[in-house]
């Protein structure tokens, strides 16, 4: 018996939606079996997960606060992925954006709040962009593997922030604890409707990235380059400048996340500022088919899943690992649905073939 994977012809939106819905029901069914094994009522757990993420104004705000960095990072990652440049370095780009924004927050707190926040925003973009340019240059000049380079650069950025936290930026008033001083109020993003204004930045970036990828010449060139380097070269696309620009935007947008998290959430610089969102964004970007409008939906649903999973840990006494397993089951089936929209599995079995032939 042999198994073969064959690429499908392009399927319609209706069939794609049915496959996606089928994967959701399959995930809920398998998750329900796991919950039943834990002697829990699956329906009560699912309702509790919705209550934990959307059951009150405070819980909705917390879900939005988690969705903001996930959405923005997914947008940044999507630009690189559209070009088939596998940017696995969003974690490092977030950290470097947070680092450069924090430099101005800690040293120029005397500036007016709007001016300081604008400078920090630009610094966050520049920090992430610089961390994105490096693998782009290595790829275009020497043909290096961008997956390895961007992944390794995550750890360089992490160790740099740890060095600052334990060394030159260590707060002398922290009673010996390795932490960086909190930002002054002038360096903290204000709130609007109960959530920091990072949500406005997320909305604006979604619109800008949508128009860039779908309506601009450079967005078209990035898509062509992702389909075929030779085709892009034949069409007159400047490979070097396109790759560098895409990674400047990809890393820069991730760097903005570092600014938002440092300013609005942590109100300081810490090595844990990313919360793993740089890796999670890879999943949500793919779930959103690298399209900004769908990335918004994928990021929001994932934020609801994360917040709901956290809630059931206390409501039902579910362990952290069990909650994470529930998340993994949902992701496994949803990502699997994307696979089956593109490919089909063919089983070659000689016995079955003979039976079919004899039946004829």
Is the pLDDT at 355 greater than 70? The verdict is no
DSSP class of residue 55?
S
pLDDT in tens, 265-318: 999 999 999 989 999 999 899 888 899 999 999 999 999 999 999 899 888 888
What pLDDT, on the 0 to 100 scale, is given for residue 182? 95
Q: What integer is the mean pLDDT of 210-236?
A: 92
pLDDT in tens, 136-191: 999 999 999 999 999 999 999 999 999 999 999 999 888 888 899 999 999 999 99
What residues have CB less than 8 Å from 88, skipping those under 6 apart? 147, 150, 151, 154, 279, 282
Q: Is residue 4 part of a domain?
A: no
What pLDDT, on the 0 to 100 scale, is given for residue 83? 92
Q: Is residue 322 part of a domain?
A: no
pLDDT in tens, 44-85: 999 999 999 999 999 999 999 999 999 999 999 999 999 999
Range of the domain at 165: 65-299
| pTM (predicted TM-score) | 0.91
What six digits make up the tokens of 337?
A: 């649905």
Q: Is residue 112 part of a domain?
A: yes
Q: Does residue 196 sit in helix, strand or coil? A: strand
What share of the chain in percent tops pLDDT 90? 69
Over its C-alpha atoms, the chain yields an Rg (Å, rounded) of: 23
Tell me the C-alpha distance between 321 and 302, whole Å.
17
Q: Is residue 328 part of a domain?
A: no
Q: Is residue 315 part of a domain?
A: no
Report the domain count for the chain: 1
Identify the bridge partners of residue 170 per DSSP, sorted by sequence position.
180
Q: Is the dihedral of CA 62, 65, 69, 70 positive or negative?
A: positive
Q: Is residue 235 part of a domain?
A: yes
Q: Is residue 176 part of a domain?
A: yes
Q: Is residue 166 part of a domain?
A: yes
Q: What integer is the mean pLDDT of 11-35?
A: 85
């Amino acid at each position: 018996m042999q198994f073969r994977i064959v690429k499908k012809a392009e399927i319609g939106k209706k069939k794609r939606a049915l496959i996606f819905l089928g994967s959701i029901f399959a995930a809920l069914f398998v998750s329900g079996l796991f919950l039943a094994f834990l002697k829990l009522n699956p329906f009560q757990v699912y309702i509790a997960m919705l209550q934990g993420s959307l059951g009150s104004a405070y819980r909705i705000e917390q879900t939005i606060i988690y969705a903001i960095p996930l959405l923005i990072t997914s947008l940044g990652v999507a630009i690189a992925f559209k070009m088939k440049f596998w940017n696995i370095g969003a974690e490092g780009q977030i950290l470097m954006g947070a680092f450069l924004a924090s430099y101005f927050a800690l040293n120029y707190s005397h500036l007016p709040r709007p001016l300081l926040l604008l400078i920090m925003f630009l610094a966050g973009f520049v920090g992430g962009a610089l961390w994105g340019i490096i693998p782009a240059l290595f790829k275009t000049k020497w043909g290096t593997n961008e997956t390895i380079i961007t992944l390794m650069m995550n750890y360089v950025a992490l160790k740099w922030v740890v060095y600052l936290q334990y060394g030159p930026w260590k707060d002398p008033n922290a009673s010996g604890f390795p932490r960086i001083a909190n930002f002054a109020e002038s360096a903290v993003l204000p709130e609007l409707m109960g959530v920091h204004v990072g949500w406005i930045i997320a909305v604006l970036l979604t619109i800008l990235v949508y128009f860039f990828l779908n309506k601009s010449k450079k967005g078209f060139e990035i898509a062509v380059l992702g389909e075929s380097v030779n085709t892009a070269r034949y069409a007159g696309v400047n490979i070097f400048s396109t790759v560098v620009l895409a990674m400047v935007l990809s890393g820069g947008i991730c760097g903005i996340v570092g600014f938002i998290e440092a300013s609005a959430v942590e109100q300081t610089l810490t090595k844990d500022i990313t919360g793993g969102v740089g890796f999670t964004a890879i999943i949500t970007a793919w779930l959103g088919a690298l399209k900004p409008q769908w990335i918004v939906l994928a990021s929001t649903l994932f934020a609801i899943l994360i917040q709901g999973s956290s809630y059931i840990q206390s409501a039902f006494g579910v362990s952290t690992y069990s909650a994470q397993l529930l998340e993994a089951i949902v992701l496994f089936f949803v990502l699997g649905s994307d696979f089956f929209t593109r490919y089909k599995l063919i089983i070659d079995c000689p016995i079955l073939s003979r039976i079919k032939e004899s039946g004829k």
